Amino acid sequence: MTGRDQAERGRRQPAMVPVGRHRHGGPVLRPLRSLRTRKPWRPASPTRVALLIPLAALTVLASGVLWPLHWMLVPSLVLGMAGGTWLIVVVPGLLPDGALSRLMVTLLVVPAVAAAVLAANASQGFVLELRGEVRSGVVARVIEHHGKTTSYECVIRYRGATDAPGSLNCGTSDHVGDAVQVAWDPGGLVEPDFAEADGTYRFFAILAMVSEIALVLLGEFTVALAVTLHAARKAAAARDSATTDGSGMAHPQSTASCNTL
């Protein structure tokens, strides 16, 4: 093959262009993405974690509010898992010490669970007080259910015909023959419960807000503690490096002085 034929063949074939260079006359070659070429996962920055702590705490509170509502069970679980994961996994994960991280996980779980449970009680009490009906009855029988935990069910006997529930969950303090007031929602939005004094749900709501504030403050403290510990470790490493470099510079000087003598 002559040089003229090779030049003609080269003009017919498309030119290969380096990656990322868009030129006329040839395709652009792009590298195949794989696990090796992808950038490694980097944890969230402390600033982003701190900014999202109030939102995560709010999702935990919203999860508790929606939990008693029958048709909001799945959204409640999703919100609770999202907010709980951020507060209990991501926030303590910033700490450099494993033992300290586990301690903060335990401390964060307490207000998170308290906020969700108290919010659920407040939500149920609010619905029953707003649109519920109350009927007097007597505890006719207490049924004990055994499983992973022991639960109790009270069978209620009413005077006359009524649409009130025939049984509801109760506790160890309820006994046969006790006179009770049963509150239930005719629409079935929440589970029935024993009637309480008007405005009791406000008490649970206040406690839920206190737990919510404690959760946010504890989460922000965890982030600040993580930043402080990382800064202290970096400063200590820098001092050790400076000390090592200084001792390394001192040895050549002493060797040179000995050679001079």
Residues 112 and 221 grouped into a single domain? yes
Beta strands across the sheet bearing 167-170: 167-170, 151-157, 133-145, 179-184, 193-194
pLDDT the model gives residue 227: 93
pLDDT the model gives residue 55: 95
Q: Which residues in the chain show pLDDT less than 70?
A: 1-43, 245-261
pLDDT the model gives residue 54: 95
Residues 168 and 142 grouped into a single domain? yes
Q: How many CB atoms lie within 10 A of CB 95?
A: 20
Q: Of the candidates 53, 42, 80, which has an alpha carbon nearest to the alpha carbon of residue 224?
A: 53
* 30 alpha carbon, distance to own chain's centre: 39
Could you read off the pLDDT of 109-124 as tens digits, one per residue?
Answer: 999 999 999 999 999 9
Distance of alpha carbon 52 from alpha carbon 176, whole angstroms: 50
Distance of alpha carbon 169 from alpha carbon 151, whole angstroms: 8
Domain count, the chain: 2
Residues 83 and 207 grouped into a single domain? yes
Residues 63 and 99 grouped into a single domain? yes
Query: Model's pTM, two decimal places?
Result: 0.72
Q: Is residue 47 packed enough to be buried (19+ CB in 10 Å), middle (13-18) or exposed (0-12)?
A: exposed
Domain membership of residue 24 (yes or no) is no
Residues 115 and 153 grouped into a single domain? no
| Domain housing 203 | 45-131+195-233
Could you read off the pLDDT of 155-205 as tens digits, one per residue?
Answer: 999 887 788 888 888 888 888 988 988 998 988 889 888 887 777 889 999
For 133-177, give the DSSP string: EEEEEEEEEEEEE-SSS-EEEEEEE-SS---S-SEEEE-TT--TT
Give the number of residues written for the chain: 261
Residues 212 and 137 grouped into a single domain? no
| Sequence-ordered strand ranges (E) for the chain | 133-145, 151-157, 167-170, 179-184, 193-194
pLDDT the model gives residue 1: 54
Residues 17, 29: contact at Cβ < 8 Å? Answer: yes
Distance of alpha carbon 169 from alpha carbon 144, whole angstroms: 10
What does the angle CA 99 – CA 103 – CA 107 come to, to the nearest 5 degrees?
170
Residues 153, 143: contact at Cβ < 8 Å? Answer: yes
Residues 117, 169: contact at Cβ < 8 Å? Answer: no
Residues 83 and 162 grouped into a single domain? no
Give the list of residues 6+ apart from residue 143 with CB closer than 8 angstroms, or none. Answer: 152, 153, 154, 155, 167
pLDDT the model gives residue 80: 94
